[in-house]
Amino acid sequence: MTAARISRTRWFKRPWLLVLGVVLLVGAVAFATSDSVRLFVGFSLYGVTSAEGVDEAKVLEAALTPAITTIHPFMRNSVSRPDTLPIFVDPGSRMLLTQPPEVSVYEIKDRVEQDRVIATVQTVVRDRRFKPLDLCFMDHENWMVHGNVGERGPELQLRRVRITQKSTREEGGVKTITYPW
């Protein structure tokens, strides 16, 4: 008998090994797809937002909002924050990996106008020496109100671009974004 044949038949002589392997595989898949595990892994890899990250996001928003509004004059304010334009900056985080700040701009659907906004944002990033950021163009705000509580519903991302001081790179196209809460 050859070693390959002996190794192949070992699984059939000891079926509990095969069953144990399948159970472990199913458990690993269930564990990996769990929301709490993804949250834990996300915190372990990317960390939590620091106070410095929040301050950087405020500076970024103050610098980018006027630049974006010169390209696209928004006709209405945000649905979720009626006193502001539909431009949001979420701070990034840093641990083992870095998650850059994310700038979300709603209601700019024209690709040519998006390209102009990207060029303007890259100019601001380069001139002010900002760290890399992700710029997301979203279709519209899906703000749902239940009683006196509001929450974001699924939203359509039109385009996602990574902007650095030296370059821009398409990161993603059209996709539906759902929020976990």
Domain boundaries, the chain: 3-33, 47-177
pTM of the model: 0.74
- DSSP per-residue string spanning 64-118: HHHHHHHH---SS--SSSTTS-SEEEE--EESSSEE--EEEEES---HHHHHHHH
Calpha distance 45→35 (Å, rounded): 15
Residues 104-123 have pLDDT tens digits of 999 999 999 999 999 999 99
Residues 119-151 have pLDDT tens digits of 999 999 999 999 999 999 999 888 888 888 888
- CATH architecture of the domain with residue range 47-177: 2-Layer Sandwich (3.30)
**Spatial contact of 142 and 154, defined as CB atoms under 8 Å apart:** yes
Mean pLDDT confidence for 157-165: 94
Calpha distance 98→164 (Å, rounded): 14
Predicted pLDDT at 106? 94
